[in-house]
Structure 1
Amino acid sequence: MNVDRLRIRRAAYVATAFGVLALVIAGPLDRLLLGTFICIGLGLGWLNAQLTWKFITRQIRSETPSKQGLLLSTAVRLFGLTGLSVLVAFLARPNGIGVFFGLALFQVILVLHTVLPEWKAMRQLS
């Protein structure tokens, strides 16, 4: 299994744990809908990571990789994700803002799962 795929999978496990934690905390505060939208944001972040991985590997494996193709797929994916998030946040005010919290949290989790192992490896070399 590829290391990057393993990191995305581990990030998904951590995101699932944070989603459950969000629901456990939001329930007694009578904000269960906010916790649900945080979970949806975490799921959208995971979906974005998966789609990013698929588009990049498809471009790399292509006989004629194209920067324009990669740029177009990235733009479509990010505009679609942003549009969907804004729509959910607007239609489900005020709890819909949890989608953005979930997206941001997943990005932090993914970055930490990517950077920390590399940082540890660099420290061992020095």
Structure 2
Amino acid sequence: MTAVPGYVPPVTRATFRRTAIIGAAVALVAVAVLVPLGYGLFALFGCVGIALGILNSAFAMGSVVRFSHGAAAPSKAKFSGGVLVRLAVITVVAFGCAFLVRPQGVAVFVGLAVFQLLATVSSILPLIKEIRQK
């Protein structure tokens, strides 16, 4: 079976889309709840964390597509380096927010954690559907 360059399986696209939409909805709810309570910066940095999670997920998906459709022998070192750079940038941004805007900047980590939880649950859903069909 020959792989199509740039091909992303439909279930992967659907999972990413579902996670991004739910993440955006959670961010909107956080803003709607926290801003009237006087915690606008917490809401802002939580949204930044969710956005960083969405960006990381999109870049990871693109990285996997490039790795799987690269040259005859894709470079594992280049792939690993890309992963490390991407995670390092996200970490620097998150720690920068946390240290520069205390204590509200810590909400970036909350946003990242919420997105990771959403991504995990969202990726499990197709699996549960498949198991229930059998």
Question: TM-score w.r.t. structure 2 length?
Answer: 0.88
5+ residue gaps, structure 2, are 1-8
Which residue in the other structure is 1:66 paired with? 75
1:57 aligns with 2:46: no
Alignment partner of 2:27: what SS?
Answer: helix
Determine helix, strand or coil for the equivalent of 1:30: coil
- Partner residue in 2 for 1:18: 26
Structure 1: how far apart are the matches of 2:133 and 2:13?
24
Alignment equivalent of 2:40, drawn from 32, 37, 51: 32
The aligned amino acid for 1:18 is V
- Stretches of structure 1 that go unaligned for 5 or more consecutive residues are none
Pairing of 1:111-126 with structure 2 (within 5 A): 111-125=120-134
Aligned residues: 125
TM-score by length of 1: 0.93
Extract structure 1 runs of 4+ deviating beyond 4 A. Answer: none
Q: Distance in 1 between matches of 2:128 and 2:10?
A: 19
CA distance in 1, matches of 2:10, 2:75: 23
SS in 1 for 2:67: helix
Q: Which has the higher helix share?
A: 1
Q: Please provide the CA RMSD for this pair.
A: 1.2
